[in-house]
A and B are shown apart, each in its own frame.
Chain A
Amino acid sequence: MFERRLYHHIDWALVGAVLALCAIGVVMIFSTTAGQARGSSPLFLTQIYAIVLGLCAMAFMLSLDYRTFTDKSHFIYVALLAVLVYVLYNGDVRMGAQRWIALGAFNVQPSEFAKIGLALLLAKFFGENRGAPGWTDLAIAAGLTCLPLALVAKEPDLGTAVILLPVLLAVAYLAGMPMRAFGALALCLLLTAPLAWQFGLEDYQKTRLTSFLDPSQDARDAGYQQIQARITVGSGGLTGKGFRQGTQGQLRFLPVAHNDFIFSVLAEEQGFAGVLVALGLYVFVILRTLEAARLAKDRLGSYLVIGVMASFTFQVVYNITMSAGLAPVKGLTLPLMSYGGSSMIATLAGFGLVLNVRMRRFTN
C-alpha cells in the first residue's frame, strides 16, 4: 500500500507543470466566459471543481500499485465497453452526438475514460509477452483497440475515437513491433482511405475535411472557424491583446472559445509569449512522462506510461494545430486546459498512473 517512503518519489515537477497548465486553462475559461452571466455557476468554477475531483482521482491512482490496476484491466475494459454500449442507447444527446451520461451534477463522458482503460489493457497485454510481439499479438491488440473505437465512433465522436489509435501504436512500437508492420499499416491506410471517405464519413465530416483544404469555399461554417482561428492567433502578435481584451474570443467570432479553441484565445490575449510558455509546459510534461517510461522498473509500467502519454500527446498536438487554423476542425479538446469535467478527471487520473509508475520504480 501507500508507504511514506514513496511520497518522496512523487515527481513534484511534473505535478507542478500539470497544475500550471490547469491554472492557465481556468484563467482562459474565465476570460472567455465571464461576460456571459448565465443562471448557473460560472464555468471556471465548474472547471475548478473538476480539477479538484481530478486530483482526487490522481491520488487514488497513486495509492495502489499500478500492477493492481493492470491486473484488473480486463474487468475495467469490459466494464467500459458495457458503459459505452449503454451510452449509445441511453446517453444524453448533445450537439447531435450521444456521448453523455447524466450523473447528478456532473455529466460524464465515458469515452474520455476509454483511453485509460485501453492503455491499462494494452500495457498488460504487451507487458506479459516476452520478446517482440508477433503478427498474431498485433492483430489481437488491434482488435482490442477497435472494439471501443467503433463504439465511440458510433456515438458519433470520431475525434475521441481516433485518439485510441495512438495508444495502440505507441505501446506496440515500444514493445518492439517490427518496422515492417508500420509500413504495412501505412499501406493499408492509404488503400482504405477512399473507401472510408465513401462509406465511413458523415457528410459534415467530409465538409470539414474539404473546407480545410480550401477554407474560403465554406466561409460560413467549418471553413469559417478555421479562418477565424487563424485570425485569432495571428492578431495576438508577440505579446497579445491582454487579459480579456481579445476581440475574436470575446465577441464570439470564434465558436466554443472556452472549449476546443481555448488555445487560440490564449494566443490572442497573451500573444506568442503566452504560447511559448504553454508549449514549454506541455513539452516539459510530455518529456518528463517519457522519462518516467524510461525509468520504469518493468516493461508493464513503461508501456502503461507510454499508452497514457500517447493519447495525451496526440490530443495536445492536434488541438494546438487546429487552434492555429492549421488542421481540420475536430471536436478535440486540449487536455488540461479546455473546459470539460470528464476530460479533466480522466487526464489527471492518467497522470496519476504516470506518477505511480515513476514513484514505484524502486519497489518490488
Chain B
Amino acid sequence: MEQYEDRRRAGIRMAVLQYLVAAVFTVLATSFWALQVVQHAKFNELAENNHQRTLALRAPRGIVFDRDGEVLVQSRRSYSISIVREHTLDLDRTIGLLTATLGLDESGVRAIVNRHRSEPVYQPITIIQDATLAQVAAVTARRLDFELPDVVVEQVPTRQYPSTLAAHLFGYVGEVSDTQVSKDRSLRSGDIVGQAGIEAVYNGLLMGEDGAKRVVVNSVGREIRTIAEDPPTEGKRLRLTADYHVQKALEDGFRALGYNGAAVLLDPANGEVFAFTSVPSYDPNTFAAGIDRATWTALNTDDLRPLNDRAIQGRYSVGSTFKMAVATAALEEGVITPDYKVYCPGHATFFGRPFKCWKPGGHGTVDLRQAIAQSCNVYFYTIGNMTGIEKIHKWATALGLGEKSGIDLPGEVQGLVPSPEWKRARNGEKWYAGETISVSIGQGAVSLTPVSMAVYISTIANGGTRVTPHLLKAVDDGTGWKAVAAPEPQSRVTLKPETVQAIRDGLFLVVNGARGTGRNARLDGFDVSGKTGTAQMISNDGVRMAKGKTARDLRDNGWFVFFAPRDHPQIAGAILAEHAEHGSNAAIIARHAIETFFAKREGRPLPAPPAPTSPPPPVEGDDPPPDRESPRLAGAVATGGQ
C-alpha cells in the first residue's frame, strides 16, 4: 500500500517535471523568437556597426603646373597617427604610452584629445600629421604587440610645394574652419581646404572628392577585408600662367641682392602673370601637414610680416614711376604736345614755395622724352600744375592706379591716387594747388600696390587696355586640358599713338640712354624700356632726427617698372625693392628676369642668376627724392607696407 502510494506520488512528480521542462523550453524558444525575429533589425544593425567601418579615402588635391607643364605643386603621401577611442580601454595609458613612443609633449596630446572629446568614438583623433617613418615604425610595432590597439596609422595625401617659391601665389592649405563650413555646405569638418593664394581661390577645382572604403574589422579593430571601395577623385589639375623659370629668376634676383619687396611680371597683351612674388616669403609646406603653434606665432610676430602679400596688400609711395601718369594726362588732355619744352634751372617756384629738382644744376631745356629719360622734376611740376589734379587722377585711374587690379588672389587692397574729393571725404579740407606739385612726381599721398603698378605699366605698353592680371590658364578635369578664357580687361581707353610713342621713347632712353637711370636693366637686342623710382620712407629731417634712435630701416624704397621690347611688348612688370635706396637696384632684378624670359622664349640657355652681392652703388645720374627738404611732405610719406 505504501509502495503504491510511493509510486503514485512519483508518477505525479514526474509529470510535474515533464511540464516544467516543456514550459522552460517554450519560454526559451519564445525568447529566441523575440530576439531573432522580432528585434532582428535592431540587432542586425548593431552587428554591422560592430564589424563594419567606413573609412574616408582622402582625395589628393589637383596638381598645379606652370604654363609649360612644369610641376609646381603636387601631392605626396604622408602618414598621420590617430587615436580611435572606440577600442580604448584606458585613454590615459594610451596617451602616456603614445607620447613616450613618439617623444611628444603629453599635455599637448591631451589638449588635442580633449578638443575632440565630444566627437563620436569611432572618429579618429589625429595626433600627428605627416609623421616620420621612425614614428610610424614605432607605433606599428606596438600596435602589433597589442600595446596600442587603439592607435591607427593612416595614409593621407599631403600638399608639397617647391619650398618658399611663389609661396604667396600658391597660398597654403589647412583644416576647414567652422565659419568656412557654415558658409559652404559642401565642406565638412575635417576637410583640408585652401586658406590663401590660388589654393583658396580655386579650392573648388583643386579639392577633389573624397572616396570611402567600407571594411570589416575584427573585435580589436583590425581590418580584415574590404567590402566596398569608392575611390577618391583627384582634384582638377590647374595650369597656371606663371612660368617656373621666370618666377625662379625673379626670386633669385631678390635673394642675390638681399632685398625684401614684391614684384609682378605679366603679359601686357592679356594680363597673364608670368611671375609673382613677395619677399620675405614663408614655406607653405609647414602648413600642409598642420602648422605647429610655435611656427605660426613666429610667422605672425615677425616684424617683416612674411605672411603679408606685399604684391597685392602692400601700399607704397612710388616716386618717379608715377611721372608717366602725369605725362599721359597732359598729352591726352591736350595740355601739351610731346615737344613741349620746359627750362629746368634745378628748382622752380609754385604758389610762392620753392620746389627742387634732384639735379642741383638743373637739366636745362628738356622736352617730354628728355624729361622722362632724365626724370626731370621741374618739367613734371610744370605740366602737372598745368594739367590739374582732377585730370591727373582721371588718367592715373584709367591706367590702373589706385584701383584694384582684379587679380585672382584673395585679399587685394586698393591703392590711392589722391584727388580733391578724396581729401574732402577724408578730413573735410580743400585741396591745395601746391599738393598737385608733389603728386606730379609721385610724392604726397600717392600710395600704390605693386600689382597695380604692373597693370599701369602694361596699360602704357599696350596703348590703353587695362588688362586683368590672372593666374589660371587651363584646367584639366581628367579629360584633357581646357583653356580658361582670360578675364575681360577692367577698362579700355585708346591712347593717342603719339602719346604712347613719346612715353615709350622716354622709357627707352631711361634704360638705353647714355645717362639713363635704368641702365642696369639694359639687354642688347630686347629694347627694354622702363622707369626707376626712389620713394622715401621719411623726410630728410626725419632721417636726421631718427638717427641712432630707431631700429627701423629708413632707407628709401627702389622701384622699377618696365616692358620689353619697346615696340611689341611681350612682358611688363613692376618691381619694388624695399630699402634698396634707388630704383636702379630694382632694375638689376628686372634684368635677370627679363633675360630669363627671352632666353626661354628663344630656346637659349637660361642665364646664371646674379652673383649674391651687397647692393651696388646707385647709378650715376641718379634721381634721389627731389624735395626732401619740404617739411609739408614729412607726414604724407612712409605709406608703404611697413
**Residues of A at under 8 Å CB distance from B?**
130-132, 170, 173-174, 176, 220, 228, 230-238, 247-248, 251-253, 267, 271-272, 275-276, 279, 282-283, 286-287, 290, 293-294, 299, 302, 306, 313, 317, 320-321, 324, 326
Contacts and interface: CB of A to CB of B under 8 A. Distances in A.
Given A235-B40, A235-B43, A238-B40, A279 B29 contact: yes
Contacts of B42: 234
Contact of B43 (A233, A275, A290): A233
Given A233-B36, A234-B46, A321 B216 contact: no
Contact of B21 (A174, A276, A283): A283
Contacts of B36: 233-234, 236-238, 267, 271-272, 275
11 contacts: A132-B9, A233-B35, A235-B40, A235-B48, A247-B51, A251-B224, A253-B50, A267-B36, A272-B37, A279-B32, A321-B28
A247 B50 contact: yes
Most buried by A among B11, B28, B220: B28
B35 A251 contact: no
Interface stretch (B12-20, B244-252, B502-510): B12-20
B28 A176 contact: no
A247 B50 CA distance: 9
Contacts of B189: none
Contact of B37 (A130, A237, A247): A237
Interface string B202-246: 000000000000001111100010000000000000000000000
A287 B25 CA distance: 11
A294 B2 CA distance: 18
Contact of B218 (A173, A230, A252, A313): A252
Contacts of B218: 251-253
Interface of B: 2, 6, 9-11, 13-14, 17-18, 21-22, 24-25, 28-29, 31-33, 35-37, 39-40, 42-44, 46-48, 50-51, 89, 216-220, 224
B234 to A, nearest CB: 33
A320 B48 CA distance: 23
Contacts of A252: 218-220
Nearest to B11: A294
Given A131-B2, A272-B36, A290-B21, A248 B50 contact: yes
B516 to A, nearest CB: 81
B21 A230 contact: no
A253 to B, nearest CB: 5
B50 A220 contact: no
Contacts of B33: 272
B50 A275 contact: no
Contact of A251 (B39, B44, B217): B217
Contacts of B25: 279, 282-283, 317
A286 B22 CA distance: 10
A160 to B, nearest CB: 21
B24 to A, nearest CB: 6
Contact of B28 (A235, A290, A320): A320
B31 to A, nearest CB: 6
B44 A234 contact: yes
Closest 9 CB pairs of A and B: A234-B43, A235-B47, A251-B218, A272-B36, A252-B219, A237-B40, A234-B35, A235-B44, A247-B51
A286 B47 contact: no
Contacts of B18: 287, 290
A238 B36 CA distance: 6
Contacts of A230: 35, 43
Contacts of B39: 234
Nearest to A310: B17
Q: Main SS of chain A's interface residues? A: helix
Contact of B14 (A271, A279, A286, A294): A294
Contact of A299 (B10, B43, B51): B10
Contacts of A317: 24-25, 28
Contacts of A283: 21-22, 25
Given A176-B9, A252-B220, 5 more contacts: A228-B50, A234-B43, A247-B216, A267-B36, A317-B28
A130 B43 CA distance: 55
B47 A233 contact: no
Nearest to A175: B10
A324 B31 contact: yes
A326 B32 CA distance: 10
Given A174-B10, A238-B40, A272-B37, A326 B46 contact: no
B10 A302 contact: yes
A317 B89 CA distance: 33
A247 B44 CA distance: 10
Contact of A267 (B9, B32, B219): B32
Given A251-B216, A290-B21, A234 B29 contact: no
Contacts of A238: 36-37, 40
Contact of B32 (A174, A251, A275, A299): A275
A303 B271 CA distance: 106
Contacts of B219: 251-253
Contact of B50 (A231, A236, A290, A326): A231
A314 to B, nearest CB: 10
A94 B46 CA distance: 33
B35 A324 contact: yes
A232 B39 CA distance: 12
B28 to A, nearest CB: 6
A3 to B, nearest CB: 27
B14 A174 contact: yes
Given A247-B216, A290-B21, A231 B32 contact: no
A248 B47 contact: yes
A231 B220 CA distance: 17
Contacts of B14: 174, 290, 293-294
A235 B29 contact: no
Contacts of A306: 17
Nearest to B50: A253
B21 A272 contact: no
A181 to B, nearest CB: 13
Contact of B29 (A247, A276, A326): A276
A239 B313 CA distance: 70
B37 A324 contact: no
Contacts of A287: 18, 21-22
A279 B28 CA distance: 8
A220 B89 contact: yes
Nearest to A309: B17
Nearest to B45: A235
Contact of A286 (B9, B11, B21, B51): B21
A267 B39 CA distance: 14
B542 to A, nearest CB: 73
A272 B21 CA distance: 20
Nearest to A325: B35
A237 B224 contact: no
Contacts of A235: 40, 43-44, 46-48
Nearest to A293: B14
Most buried by B among A231, A252, A279, A320: A231
A324 B32 contact: yes
Contact of B6 (A131, A247, A253, A293): A131
Contacts of B6: 131-132, 176, 299
A290 to B, nearest CB: 6
A251 B43 contact: no
A297 B11 CA distance: 13
A231 B47 contact: yes
Given A130-B2, A176-B9, A275-B32, A234 B40 contact: yes
A279 B51 CA distance: 28
A174 B13 contact: yes
Nearest to B9: A176
Most buried by A among B14, B18, B35, B219: B35
